[in-house]
Amino acid sequence: MKRIALLGMPNTGKSTLFNRMTGGAARVGNWPGITVELLSGKILLGSDMVEIIDLPGIYDLHGFSDDEQVVRHFLHDNIPDLALVILNATQIERQMSLLLQLRQLNMNIVVLLNMSDEAKKYGISIDSKKMTEMLGVPIFLLSGKYGTGYQEALQAITKALRYPTPGMAEQLRSQLEQDEHIESEMARVLKHAVQVPAQLPENLTDKLDRVLLHPWLGLPIFFGIMYLLFQGIFLLGQPLQGWVGDALGWLRVSALDPACAGLPVWLSGLLLDGIYNGVATVAAFVPIIILFFLFMAMVEDSGYLSRAAFLMDALMAKMGLDGRGFVMLLMGFGCNVPALMGTRVMRSRSLRLLTMLVIPFSLCSARLQVFVFITAALFSPKAAPVVLFSLYLFSFAAAIVTALLFKTKFKNNEPFVLELPPYRFPTVKQMLLRGWLEVRHFLQRATQFIVAGVVLVWLLTHLPPSAAPAGAGTLAGMIGGLLHPIFAPIGINEQLTIALLFGFVAKEIVIGSLAVIYGLSGDALGHALGQQLDWVQAYSFMLFTLIYTPCLSAIATLHNEAKDLRYTLFALAWSLALAWAVSFVFYQGARALGY
């Protein structure tokens, strides 16, 4: 029986054509020379039965991917009477190379240029007669979709089968064997230097996955791990934060105050109450930030994030997102900016835009500082971690509500296919390096924004000089008064309003600017806040801080990635509106309940 081999690059409509020719009556079979099974079918062509074999799609006859080797070995050991080469007409300039490689083998060839209808739509015109002349092989235009050219091609195939393969089998084999030399060399090196077991023994990853990806325990374990991590950061970080704060306060009293005693009052005020207080208050958070990024680096490098994507994909799909989006949200806990850039792996623009719309609700490390400070000032040590955790829940809730509301606007059907790496235990060195890089990034940002920010806040709260510092007569007081009608219904006073204005630039400034506004730092600032605010006001302030835009860099990144001003403005307006609405409902609700 004569044999026809179907050859072509992936996605040329080869398998569709194969199904059409064989009428779906195909079987899976073994062939000499190769270990994988191939589909084949028998059909009646003219008066003879012939067998058609669907070879794997390949890009390069001389390549060394698995499929390319399979095709070569098949041709070597089962020389077909006819090679039916299917090329995608819309990509003819890229696919011609495979045809020329096959022609060099001097086999009996018939070429089908498939998807010719599509090529015509792209304005690609192919002169098949001219091409036939130049290449010396029969070429036919085909539209698998509409079935045009199919009968003509079948006749040409029937005709071509009457003639024997022009080339000598020996020649063909020796050509293919040149590549086989490379193959055997590869195999020899791999065999002696590399060992891969046929069946992987059950390893630690499998054992861990059986628990961590358990159908019912997986999700509770995941949330348990997250809760413990944040608890750990809080419990370990707070004493460190206290020590750094005390050290910086001691430095001021014992060294800086005497050193600045000779300076004019306004200058020592700017330097000490402005810059030093502001920066010192922020600097006290460095230990917590270091711990936070060390823990994040550990989780990220361990391979557990992909497991989180596996566990959460079903729920994310209901929100129009996917498991990767959930991983981005988690990464956003560190910093929203890289998380926003991480969405580049998504091909569908709608999915990307929807994911980028929810990432800014991730409670990033800069916002964490604000919350750590305020919860410590207004809540008991026992309640503080729970309050903090509740803010993480609000962070998720804001993302979920946003995705649910807008998923129909950003519809997509992006496939979700992800490699699952084995668990890796990061080395101490890796973790320290990652932690250090993140801390350096944080310090760069902090110094850029915070020094400028606190100086600006100091100026706003001390100008004009005639007004009492931070009083209603200063620039800051005026701005606060102007915005008062908006922020009063959500329980945010004028001083906090100024801090929120600066928080728009970067959340790292919020506590620093409060330090400048109140002229206090560290614990003293905490006491002042604790006396002025009750917990309902403070929580409302934290909710607003959590939900309204992360920072200027995040907005800039969002705009850069989306390249759509309307989208950026929409994201901005939505987060402001949601922040106000949530704070309003919380504040008024709590007051109505008598708190």
Partner 1 sequence: MSALTLAQLHSGDTATIVAIHAEEALHQRLLALGFRSGKQIELIRKASFSGPLQVRIGTTDILLRRNEAAKITVCRP
Measured in whole angstroms, how far is the alpha carbon of residue 366 from the centre of its chain? 20
- For residue 297, give the H/E element and its range: helix 286-302
Asked if 67 interacts with partner 1 (CB under 8 A), we say yes
* Sequence-distant (≥ 6) Cβ neighbours of residue 379 within 8 angstroms: 387, 535
Q: How far is the CB of 1 from partner 1 (least distance, A)?
A: 20
> 487: helix, coil or strand?
helix
| Interface segment toward partner 1; rule CB under 8 A; list 308-316, 491-499, 508-516, 571-579 | 308-316
Cβ burial, residue 565 (10 Å; 0-12/13-18/19+): exposed
Q: Which residue has the tokens 């730092």?
A: 521
Nearest residue (CB) to partner 1, 217 versus 472: 217
Question: What is the total count of residues that contact partner 1 (CB under 8 A)?
Answer: 42
Is residue 354 within 8 A of residue 320, CB to CB? The reply is yes
Q: Which residues contact 49 (CB under 8 A, 6 or more apart)?
A: 1, 42, 43
3-state secondary structure of 183: helix
Pairing mode of beta strands 48-54, 139-141: unpaired
Nearer to partner 1, 159 or 347 (CB): 347
Report CA 349 to chain centroid distance, whole Å: 13
Measured distance between the N- and C-terminal CA atoms of the chain, rounded to whole angstroms? 89
- Comparing CB distances to partner 1, the nearer of 27 and 591 is 27
Q: Near partner 1 by CB under 8 A, which window of 187-195, 305-313, 467-475, 554-562?
A: 305-313
Half-sphere exposure (CA, 13 Å, Cβ side) for 159? 9
Phi, psi values for residue 433, rounded to 5° = -65, -50
Q: Which is closer to partner 1, CB of 347 or CB of 440?
A: 347
Which range of residues in 42-50, 160-168, 304-312, 555-563 is near partner 1 by CB under 8 A?
A: 304-312
- What per-residue string of b and e applies to 491-503 under the rule 16 or more CB within 10 Å gives b? bbebbbbbbbbbb
Which residues ranging from 70 to 99 are in contact with partner 1 (CB under 8 A)? 70
State whether residue 43 is helix, strand or coil: strand
Identify residues 119-138 at the interface with partner 1 (CB under 8 A). Answer: none
Q: Which is nearer to partner 1, 100 or 211 (CB)?
A: 211
Nearest residue (CB) to partner 1, 1 versus 417 = 417
Q: Going by C-beta distance under 8 Å and a sequence separation of 6 or more, which residues neighbour residue 482? A: none
Site for partner 1 in 470-499 (CB under 8 A): none
Give the residue with the Cβ less far from partner 1, 37 or 246: 37
* Pick 414 or 523: Cβ nearer partner 1: 414
Q: Are 352 and 346 in contact (CB under 8 A)?
A: yes
| Residue 56 binding partner 1, by CB under 8 A | yes
User: Cα-Cα-Cα-Cα dihedral of 351, 356, 359, 365, to 10°?
Assistant: 140
Question: Per CB under 8 A, which region of 284-292, 314-322, 532-540, 555-563 contacts partner 1?
Answer: 314-322
Beta-carbon contacts of residue 188 (< 8 Å; ≥ 6 apart) = none
At residue 384, what is the residue type? A
- Considering only residues 411 through 430, tell me which ones interact with partner 1, judged by CB under 8 A: 415-422
- Binding mask 8-37 toward partner 1 (x if CB under 8 A, else -) reads --xx---x--------xxxxx-------xx
Q: Are 326 and 305 in contact (CB under 8 A)?
A: no
Query: What is the nearest approach in angstroms of partner 1 to the Cβ of residue 313?
Result: 5
Minimum distance between the CB of residue 182 and partner 1, rounded to whole angstroms?
20
Q: How far is the CB of 323 from partner 1 (least distance, A)?
A: 7
Q: What is the largest CA-CA distance in the chain?
A: 111
Residue whose CB is less far from partner 1, 325 or 491: 325
For partner 1, what does the binding mask look like between residues 159 and 198, x meaning CB under 8 A? -------------------------------------x--
CB of 196 to partner 1, least distance (A): 6
State which of residues 124, 213, 483, 576 lies at the interface with partner 1 (CB under 8 A). Answer: 213
Q: What is the DSSP pairing of strand 27-29 with strand 38-45?
A: antiparallel
Q: Which helix (H) or strand (E) holds 86?
A: strand 82-88
Q: Which residue, 144 or 435, has its beta carbon nearer to partner 1?
A: 144
**Other C-beta atoms lying within 10 Å of the C-beta of residue 250:** 10
Interacting span for partner 1 (CB under 8 A) from 146-154, 267-275, 313-321, 572-580: 313-321
Least CB distance to partner 1 at residue 269 (A): 58
Sole binder of partner 1 in the list 96, 247, 315, 386 (CB under 8 A): 315
Distance CA 362, CA 416 (A): 22
Q: What is the dihedral of CA 178, 180, 184, 186, to 10 degrees?
A: 90
The least distance separating partner 1 from the CB of residue 315, rounded to whole angstroms, comes to 7
Which stretch in 64-72, 455-463, 503-511, 524-532 sits in contact with partner 1 by CB under 8 A? 64-72
Task: Determine if 577 is a binding residue for partner 1 (CB under 8 A).
Answer: no
- Per CB under 8 A, which of residues 331..360 are in contact with partner 1? 347
The binder of partner 1 chosen from 226, 260, 317, 524 (CB under 8 A): 317
* Contact call for residue 313 and partner 1 (CB under 8 A): yes
User: What's the CA gap between 151 and 212, in Å, rounded?
Assistant: 57
| 451 HSE (CA, 13 A, CB side) | 6
Q: Kindly state whether residue 527 participates in binding partner 1, applying the rule CB under 8 A.
A: no
Does residue 203 bind partner 1 (CB under 8 A)? Answer: no
Supply the minimum distance, in Å, between the C-beta of residue 554 and partner 1. Answer: 28
SS3 83: strand
Give the binding site for partner 1 (CB under 8 A). 10-11, 15, 24-28, 36-39, 56, 66-67, 70, 196, 200, 209, 213, 215-216, 218, 306, 309-311, 313-315, 317, 322-323, 347, 415-422
